[in-house]
Structure 1
Amino acid sequence: MTAAAPDAPVSPRAHHLPAAGLAVVVTALLAGLPLAFDGVGRLVAVAALQAALIAAWVRSTGIRGPAGALVIGAVASLVADVVLLLPERPTLDPLAAVLGLGLLAAVVHQMTRPAPRPQLVPSLAGVVLLLCAVCALAVLLVVGRLEDGPGAVTGTALVVGAALVVGHLVDLALPRPAVAPGVPCGAAALVLAVVAGAGAALLLGDRGSLADVLSVVTFGAAVGAVAALTSLGASYVVVERAESGWAGAVLQAVLPLAAAAPVAYALTLNGLG
């Protein structure tokens, strides 16, 4: 579903500035609503991000059978949120059933398209990746229920936001060395985005001892690296689908957070961060 290079050059300003601005909005939403409304605010923020990601992903990737893809994504995100909030003990086990049934729904969705069903395999892959992304965002609800979880959700939001904003601004000024022809992104931004993530975690975390410092820096660097690499992948999609417009910016701002959420969960569960 990606091409080596677009037919027309991509404007770095149009590619990076909207995505950086939306990254700030996403960070404020996920960090601010839980502080104001606790668990309800976290649920509202996650649901809003899932809805935005579903709409942006379907438009940006050009999935065939877009109406069905929207329905599958919406139902999967709703069910994932509910099943992760119901158990008394926070766990990711219910997501296995959501993903399994979602995969079946995605296969049936593509099989029932009118013949000759062009782009069947790429469209099926797109719906499956959408399922993974909305379920990954739902993981933030479980992170918030862990010990010190609310702080971990806030920290994840701020680390991802810092990594994305720094990465986009560096790519806007110096997209070197280029990672691929036609993609206005460079390796320097990847490195500095990881540094920004580690720095944000260090500023927010407990610095009482060397072990504490290493813990928060590891958390920030790992989450920042995942966000930066996923943002680069989203840039490939946006470059190929140059007409995606607003959806491309949303995709670049929300998909990295979805990829970072399970990593944040694993690190928080193991006492890092």
Structure 2
Amino acid sequence: MFPSTPRDSDAWDEDATRDVARSAPGRGHFYAGDREDERKPSGDGDDAEFEEEEVRVVPVRRQLSVAIAGFAGLLGAGLVLGAQTSGPDARLPYAIVLFGVQLLYVLAFTMAIRPPAAYTVAGISLVAGALADYAAVTDDSPGVMSLLYVLGGGFVAALVGQAIRPEDRLRLRDALGGTFLVVLGPVCLALLIVLTRRPAGTQAVLMCLGAVGVTLLVAHLTDAVFPKPRIAPQVPRGATGIVLGAMLGTFGAAALGSVLVLPFTPGKGAILGLVVAGIAALVDLAVNYSEAGRGLAGDAPTFWVARHMQGPLGAFALAVPATYILAVFVLS
């Protein structure tokens, strides 16, 4: 008869079906444009949330910065004064003081690094520190060879202790650097006793550890007042404090070099201060970066006391080998 033509009612049905499909997700058929419209708000929300997490800034806690600065100042004063009072018949009391610092170091770094067989590593590190102190006190001629033997033996013993259990062996390769760092600190601190037995070694301890103490003290006090510009959003430190602390630490060592007797000079004091102040600032900052990395990785944070003591303890411990090397090659 007549060719079939679409009716108005059919067109109305198609429009109604399309409207129902748009208004009720999961029913009817969506066009490609509808899918993009539906997914776009969700995607934008996820991106916004991701960007918000990415730029989240960790606040600088002023009272905490002052507390860390105070701890660094007290630690430096104790190590320097103990070295000044150490003598041929008074090395044992200084060794006892150093063992207390070694204990704090081992506890802080073991809690932070969390190596396999942590209790075993901590115990071996403390034994290595005690043996290093004993060797530094009782050796006829002061030197580092006996301490190097203690360091090597302690590191090997720690690796053997980590290889006993299968679950610890699986993490052994990835934890080599952290395990070595835990064992290294106590042995490095024992070098202070060796330095007090060398000519001009006690004055070198005063100059270098004084520079380290000034660097950390000024850096953290500056963070409490003006923590800008920020090193990184996740790291609660300011570049102003780090630079200012290293500069004043170097200046303090140069000033001491001008008042101490030969072989000290302002130039040699500036060299010693620059090296140890730079090491202290970098080690202290590296501790903050490692803690921020653990937070970004979703790991549990370090116990708060160990976390805040770790920077000053690591800075002093790792500045001691540099002090010994500079005392041997620059002041001799």
- Scaled by the length of structure 2, the TM-score of the pair is 0.72
Tell me the C-alpha RMSD between the 2 structures: 2.7
Equivalent in the alignment of 2:204:
152
2:188 aligns with one of 119, 131, 136: 136
Query: Shift in Å at residue 147 of structure 1?
Result: 0.4
Aligned residue type for 2:249: G
1:89 equivalent to 2:148? Answer: no
For 2:131 and 2:139, locate their aligned partners in 1 and report how far apart those are by CA, in whole Å. 13
For 2:98 and 2:166, locate their aligned partners in 1 and report how far apart those are by CA, in whole Å. 34
For 2:258 and 2:330, locate their aligned partners in 1 and report how far apart those are by CA, in whole Å. 12
Equivalent in the alignment of 2:79:
30
Query: Shift in Å at residue 119 of structure 1?
Result: 3.9
Query: Shift in Å at residue 172 of structure 1?
Result: 3.1
Query: Shift in Å at residue 82 of structure 1?
Result: 1.9
Query: Shift in Å at residue 226 of structure 1?
Result: 0.8
Equivalent in the alignment of 2:241:
189
Task: Report SS of the residue matched to 2:236.
Answer: coil
Equivalent in the alignment of 2:280:
227
- The answer to whether the 8 Å contact 1:146/1:269 transfers is no
For 2:86 and 2:301, locate their aligned partners in 1 and report how far apart those are by CA, in whole Å. 38
Equivalent in the alignment of 1:245:
304
- The answer to whether the 8 Å contact 1:159/1:201 transfers is yes
Aligned residue type for 1:235: N
Identity over aligned residues, as a percent? Answer: 27
For 2:218 and 2:76, locate their aligned partners in 1 and report how far apart those are by CA, in whole Å. 13
1:236 equivalent to 2:285? Answer: no
Matches within 5 A, 1:70-219: 70-115=122-167, 119-207=171-259, 212-219=265-272
Residue-pair matches, total: 268
- The answer to whether the 8 Å contact 1:76/1:135 transfers is yes
How has the CA–CA distance of structure 1 residues 177 and 102 changed in structure 2, closer, same or farther, with 3 Å as cutoff? same
- The answer to whether the 8 Å contact 1:106/1:124 transfers is no
For 2:112 and 2:220, locate their aligned partners in 1 and report how far apart those are by CA, in whole Å. 19
Task: Report SS of the residue matched to 1:89.
Answer: coil
1:12 aligns with one of 56, 61, 76: 61
How has the CA–CA distance of structure 1 residues 167 and 205 changed in structure 2, closer, same or farther, with 3 Å as cutoff? same
For 1:92 and 1:53, locate their aligned partners in 2 and report how far apart those are by CA, in whole Å. 21
Which shows bigger deviation, 34-43 or 100-109? 34-43
Larger Rg: 2
Aligned residue type for 2:72: A
Query: Shift in Å at residue 126 of structure 1?
Result: 1.7
Which shows bigger deviation, 6-15 or 162-171? 6-15
Post-superposition Cα deviations, 1:154-180, rounded to whole Å, max 9, x if no partner, equal: 223221110001111223333334333
Equivalent in the alignment of 2:106:
54
Structure 2: gaps spanning 5 or more residues: 1-53, 295-299
For 2:130 and 2:184, locate their aligned partners in 1 and report how far apart those are by CA, in whole Å. 13
